Every structure is written in C-alpha cells, then in structure tokens.
Amino acid sequence: MALQIWDDFPTIQTKLTALTPYLIEAARIKQPAVNERVQSLLRHGGKLIRAGLFYLFSEFGPDQNEERLQAGAAAIELLHLATLIHDDVIDQAPERRGTQTVHTRVGNRNAIYAGDLLFTLYFDQVLKSAETFNDIAVNTHAMHGILDGELDQYDLNYHLKETVDQYLKEIEGKTAKLFALACAQGAKLAHADMIIVESAEQIGRSIGLAFQILDDVLDYTGEQQDIRKPILQDIQQGIYTLPLLFALEAQPEKLRPYLKRGIQLTETDLQTIQALVTKSDGVAQARTMANELTDQALLDIKMLPETPARQALETLTRRLLQREQ
C-alpha cells in the first residue's frame, strides 16, 4: 500500500493499515479470476486519501466505535474502487496502481459486473456503519451525484462550447462528492456536532474540487510515469478539462481547428495542443483556481475546534494540494 503520505500521521496510518485486510475481505468475490484482479488492486492500493480524511474527521467526535468507523471507511473505499473499475473499462486503461486492470484479464463485461457488485458491497458496509435512515440516504444521494457527474461529462464529450461552470459541475459530481461524503461521514459516525459535520462536507468539497483540477493540470505538465496515464488522454476521449477550457477562451482560433479533428488527433497534434494550453496561461489559470479552493478549505479548517486533528488536517491539505506547483 502507498501509505507514505500518512507517515507524519501515525494514528491515521495505523487505522489505514488495519483497514487494508478488512477491505480485502469485504471485497471478496466468488469468481476466482475476477476476485484475483480486484484483490490485486486492493493489495496495490493507492494512498487511501478518502478513507484517511474520513478517519481524520472522525477524531472531531467523541464516539470512537472502531467497528462502525472501520465499516464507514471501507464503504468509502469500496465506492471509490467500483467507480475506478468502471472508469478503466471506459478508458480501456491497461494498468491501475501498477497492476493490470480488471477488464484486461476478465473482459469488459465481467469488469462492469465486478464494479456493479462492488456497489452492492459498498452498501453492505454502509448498512454496518449506519445508525439512522439518514446515514443511508446521505450515501445514496452521494452515489447519485457521483454517477450523475460521470454522465454529465459523457454528455459533453467533444463539446467545443463547454463552459468552466459546466466543467465544475462535472467534477463536483464525479470527484468532490466522494471527498465531501468521506469527510462528513467520518465526523457524523463519530457523533461530532452537526456544525462540524456540515463544515466537514464543505471542506471535503473544496479539497475534492482542487484535487481534481490539479490532477487535470498534471495531464499537461506531468510526466506519464508520474500520473500513470498517457499524456492528454482526456483530449483523445473528448474530455475537455479546465486548463484547456481557459486556453480556449484565450485562443479559440488556434485550438478549435485541432479539437475539431476529434478522434483523428495525432501525437503531433496533441503535443501542439499541450504547448498552446501552457503558453496561453490555461495551466496557470487552472492552478490559480485550485489555489483559491485550497485557501477556502484551509480557512474553513481553521474554524474547526483547535485539536491535534485540526493541525493534522491543515498539514495534510497543504501537502495534498500543493503537488507539482
């Protein structure tokens, strides 16, 4: 597991280390080939950022019921994993977390069913952690928002008139909703005051939006091995992210002829687009928006009770959202 980001937060790191075998058991699937791929993804797991935020916000509450919180954290990660498996099918990505994706071993159909099954396993954990009907409703609402965001993105594929507001609505659903859910549920399941739960949701939203924008910036500035996907894969799929949208506003006459080629874009075309976006300040403007969202998250964090958890949350947020800047 790539848990080095949590080295300076030993309490959270210990909880995440214990969460890994729990996740592996919770995500067990009876079909051997599918199970092997899903288990491999979990063993090669990422940073568990969302579960870590869940646990950080749980420290603002007085009720540290280990079983309930572990089920709540597992629910967040299973929902995330289900969406990743579906994303990999859509993107036809060969690797995820340094290991083969599910569909490359068992085919697209079985991978889609595996993702669907993980959605049900996610709700198994929701039911284990939920104390009220509202806890379940919050999760269903968040899942609705995540999938709605994915459909919004699909609906705007190759759409040359996509706006910044439309982009923000997409990532609000597909990325920020899960961050907001993780933060709010961590606080709520630990019985934190409702004002903290509400603040947690807003902080998670800001972190999620900034996180996605910076991820989209890396598509233009990062090395392929750093982001583990082909440079400008989003453009090849007709997905226009914030740096490109800002650049389109500044230099439509230069970029539109390339984008109109759609799936016919060549490697040279993509390199030209990359250069145009960078030179037009599209990347700089996107980073500015990410910085504004980060500042808002940090401002809201400072309004939380002064505890070690608040200090840890502030440090983590700065570290998480200042990559490649």
Question: In 10-107, where does DSSP find H-type helix?
Answer: 10-26, 32-43, 49-58, 66-91, 102-106
Q: What is the pTM assigned to this prediction?
A: 0.93
For residue 232, the model assigns a pLDDT of: 77
CA distance 58 to 74: 14
Q: What is the pLDDT of residue 227?
A: 47
Output the pLDDT for position 14.
Answer: 96
For residue 261, the 8-state DSSP code is T
> What would the two tokens of residue 259 be?
């984008």
More reliable by pLDDT, 226 or 12: 12
Average pLDDT, the chain: 91
30-44, 87-101, 216-230: least confident range: 216-230
Residues 103-122 have a mean pLDDT of 92
- Please tell me the predicted confidence (pLDDT) of residue 4: 81
pLDDT at residue number 100: 83
Residue 323 is predicted with a pLDDT of 47
The pLDDT assigned to 223 comes to 55
Pick the CATH number of 10-195 from 1.10.260.40, 2.40.10.10, 1.10.600.10, 3.30.565.10: 1.10.600.10
Is 204 exposed, middle or buried (CB count within 10 Å of its CB: 0-12, 13-18, 19+)? buried
Q: For the residues 19-24, what does the mean pLDDT come to?
A: 95
pLDDT at residue 96 in the model: 80
pLDDT confidence of residue 229? 56
- Contacts with 131 (C-beta within 8 Å, 6 or more apart), sequence order: 68, 189
Cβ-in-10-Å burial (0-12, 13-18, 19+) of 260 comes to exposed
Tokens of 102: 């599910």
**Segment among 18-32, 100-114, 170-184 with least mean pLDDT:** 100-114
Confidence of residue 42 (pLDDT cuts 50, 70, 90): confident
Close Cβ partners of 97 (under 8 Å, ≥ 6 residues apart): 2, 41, 44, 45, 46, 228
Stretch 215-231: mean pLDDT: 69
Decide if pLDDT at 225 tops 70.
no
Q: What is the Cα–Cα distance from 323 to 218, expressed in whole angstroms?
A: 9
101: alpha, beta or left? (left if phi > 0; alpha if psi -120 to 50)? beta
Residue 324 clears pLDDT 80, i.e. is over it: no
Res. 237: pLDDT tops 50 = yes
Confidence of residue 32 (pLDDT cuts 50, 70, 90): confident
Q: Choose between 202 and 149: higher pLDDT.
A: 202
- d(Cα 51, Cα 60) in Å, to the nearest integer? 15
Whole-angstrom distance, CA of residue 20 vs CA of residue 136: 23
More confident residue, 124 or 224: 124
